[in-house]
Amino acid sequence: MTESRDQKGAKPARRVTIRHRLEYALYVVFRGVARAIGDGGLDALGSFVSTMASKLIRRRTDLANRNLAMVHPDMPPSERERIVRDCWKHYATESIRYVRDSGVPFEEMANRFDVAGVENMQHALSYDRGVILFSAHFGSWENALSILTRFGRKVVVVGRVLDNPLLHERLFEGRTRSGFELLDRRAAARELVRALQEKAIVVLLVDQAVREHEGSLVPFMGHDAWTTTAPARLARKYSCPILGVFTYPAENGRRERAEFEPVLETDGLDEVEVMSMVNEIIGRRVSSDPHLWLWFHDRWKGVPER
- The answer to whether residues 9 and 15 touch, using CB atoms and an 8 Å cutoff, is no
- The string of DSSP codes covering 181-204 is EEEEGGG-HHHHHHHHHTTPEEEE
Residue 98 φ/ψ, nearest 5 degrees: -65, -45
Q: How far is it, in rounded angstroms, from Cα 158 to Cα 156?
A: 7
Question: Which stretch of DSSP H or E encloses residue 39?
Answer: helix 18-56
Under DSSP, the state recorded for 139 is S
Q: Tell which residue, 1, 3, 2, has the closest CA to residue 162.
A: 3
Q: How far is it, in rounded angstroms, from Cα 93 to Cα 31?
A: 13
pLDDT, residue 16, reads 85
Question: Which stretch of DSSP H or E encloses residue 245?
Answer: strand 242-248
Residues facing 223 on adjacent strands:
220
- The answer to whether residues 49 and 33 touch, using CB atoms and an 8 Å cutoff, is no
Distance of CA 256 to the CA centre of its chain: 16
Sequence spans of domains, the chain: 18-292
- The answer to whether residues 133 and 250 touch, using CB atoms and an 8 Å cutoff, is no
Classify each residue of 172-190 as buried b or exposed e, where b means 16 or more C-beta atoms within 10 Å of its C-beta.
Answer: bebbeebebbbbbbeebee
Question: Per-10-residue mean pLDDT for the chain, 306 residues long?
Answer: 40 74 88 84 89 92 96 96 96 89 82 95 96 95 87 88 80 70 77 92 94 93 96 93 95 86 94 97 97 96 78
- pTM to 2 decimal places: 0.88
- The answer to whether residues 227 and 279 touch, using CB atoms and an 8 Å cutoff, is yes
Q: How far is it, in rounded angstroms, from Cα 167 to Cα 159?
A: 15
The DSSP bridge pattern shows strands 223-228 and 113-116 to be unpaired
Dihedral of the alpha carbons of 192, 193, 195, 201, in degrees to the nearest 10: 70
Q: Radius of gyration (Cα) for the chain, nearest Å? A: 19
Q: Tell which residue, 49, 31, 11, has the closest CA to residue 164.
A: 11
Q: At what angle do helices 18-56 and 77-101 cross, to 10 degrees?
A: 150
Residue type, 21: R
